Chain A
Amino acid sequence: MSNNHIASHVEKTLDKGMRYDNRKLLDFRKITLETGVSVNAEGSARVTIGDTEVLAGVKLDLGTPYPDIPDQGVMMVGAELLPMSNPKFEPGPPSIHAIELARVVDRGIRESGTIDTKKLCVKEGEKVWMMLLDLIPINDAGNLMDAFGLAALAALNDTTFPKFDSETEKVDYKEKTDKKLELSKLPIPVTVYKIGKNVIVDPLTDEEEAMDARLTVSSTEDGKLCALQKGGDITLSVEDIKKMIEIGIDKGKELRKVFESAK
């Protein structure tokens, strides 16, 4: 349910170069990142951006590979939008919003090629590691996408393989090996929003509701694009997209610094 008066007020504020919380248009709120927050997950992370707080967890399991890629492991990303984090979220099967969040995070990681899925193979055609990456919001105060993207990367970076007993063919989750999941690149998504003629990042809830269009730009540290996702009802011009990609890559560097400093 959008509200015209609330939305136009947000736009008026942005037109004067100001945000509701006294930030500049292209400023992020304060970001914190901590890893190893869950004992039972193989890798986990908690990210806060302002009042927004999310958790990411990686679980490793053994399974049979897909027939067309018998020598590669499997990665799956799922997001569950808990009703406690936002009154708009309803319990039940994943909403379009949840699926979009999970798929865009998935696309960024998958298409950057940061994980060598061939290294997840235990026995070709029979046994591979299945990697389940779960994303959960604790509090949604805007910009879940970028928070999820950062948390996902940090959780993957934190992931340690559990012990695999080749005789009994079972995984002992209590015993962790010192083998880490290797990340060759650091893909980070940044969502750039267009409200009226203004372009902003890291929106608050009110700003999210007032959005005309958004573009999620996932890029790696060498400035290469690995995923894009456009949302919102308004069309974007070629110039808009160029500008937004530039901002996305630029802000991605900023987020990568947060990631590096927490490592």
Chain B
Amino acid sequence: MTEPKVKDNDVVVPGEELASGMGYLPGQGTYRDGDKIRANRLGLVHIDGRAIKLVPLAGRYLPKSGDVIIGKVRDVTYSGWIIDTNSAYRAMLSLKDATNAYIRKGADLTKFYSFGDYVVVKIFNVTSQNLIDLSMKGPGLRKLEQGRVITVDPSKVPRIIGKEGSMVSMIKTQTNCRITVGQNGVIWISGEPKNEIMAEGVIRKIEREAHVPGLTDKIKKELEKTNKGEQ
């Protein structure tokens, strides 16, 4: 088995050769080109045994089954709603997946979700053509009210959420805001105006410094400092 051309945590650009020969397997964010493995995104290399995968540094959201996202109602049709998911593909929330309530034939669907409403939805299916089926049935899936909606780089979402939600729950308690983070990089924040500004500031900082080690402690210190300054 030949050595790969790159080391762990190297930054690679699309098209860059990562390894040659059949000794390695192309993982997420890579593809096989003849007997070579190449990167198809800008990202950091992770070599896990024989598999080479990439953790993207930037990029658009690619819909994945099981993701909870925040979408915006773009259109209302006879049988459901078309949702903007901050990705390139069309998403559909059909009537039967939206509510358990009985909806009469010909009812005005804008009474449930109207144009421009933000909704927390779950992706339950992505077809081979990348068409997205959404569902509203599950814990925490709802229409969003009273809050601000911001958009961040979707590849930074895991850092904003933290290990098992540690980062986001820390921001929630320290800033006293209600926060919902969608996997598609759309974030909803609701609280007192000055707390919202603080929460957004911290999220932007995480987005900027996602690669810095020990970020959780750094953010925690900063939040505690601002909180003390106010009292």
Contacts and interface: CB of A to CB of B under 8 A. Distances in A.
Interface of A: 1-6, 8-10, 12-13, 16, 18, 20-22, 206
Contacts of A10: 148
B193 A5 contact: no
B194 A20 contact: no
B197 A8 contact: no
Q: Which of B74, B190, B196 is most buried by chain A, counting CB atoms within 10 A of its CB? A: B196
Contacts of A22: 194, 197
A16 B148 contact: no
29 contacts: A1-B115, A1-B116, A2-B116, A3-B115, A3-B117, A3-B118, A4-B116, A5-B118, A5-B145, A5-B147, A6-B116, A6-B148, A6-B149, A9-B146, A9-B147, A9-B148, A12-B146, A13-B193, A13-B196, A16-B193, A18-B193, A18-B194, A20-B148, A20-B196, A20-B197, A20-B200, A22-B194, A22-B197, A206-B148
A209 B200 CA distance: 20
Closest 9 CB pairs of A and B: A3-B116, A1-B116, A18-B193, A13-B193, A5-B145, A22-B197, A1-B115, A16-B193, A9-B146
Grouping DSSP codes into helix (H, G, I), strand (E, B) and loop, the B interface class, with mixed when no group exceeds half, is: mixed
Nearest to B147: A9
Interface of B: 72, 74, 115-118, 144-149, 190, 193-194, 196-197, 200
Contacts of A9: 146-148, 190
A124 B213 CA distance: 71
A5 B197 CA distance: 18
A3 B115 CA distance: 7
Contact of B117 (A5, A8, A21): A5
Contacts of B196: 13, 20
Given A3-B117, A22-B197, 11 more contacts: A1-B115, A3-B72, A3-B115, A3-B118, A5-B117, A5-B144, A8-B146, A9-B148, A18-B193, A20-B197, A21-B197
A81 B115 CA distance: 24
Contacts of A6: 116, 118, 148-149
Nearest to A20: B148
Q: Which of A2, A6, A20 is most buried by chain B, counting CB atoms within 10 A of its CB? A: A6
B85 to A, nearest CB: 13
B32 to A, nearest CB: 33
Contacts of B194: 18, 22
A3 B149 CA distance: 11
A7 B118 CA distance: 12
Contacts of A3: 72, 115-118
B162 to A, nearest CB: 24
Nearest to B115: A1
Q: Which of B72, B144, B197 is most buried by chain A, counting CB atoms within 10 A of its CB? A: B197
A206 B147 CA distance: 11
A52 to B, nearest CB: 16
Contacts of B190: 9
Contacts of B146: 5, 8-9, 12
A195 to B, nearest CB: 14
A88 to B, nearest CB: 11
Nearest to B86: A87
Q: Which of A2, A8, A13, A16 is most buried by chain B, counting CB atoms within 10 A of its CB? A: A13
Contacts of A4: 116
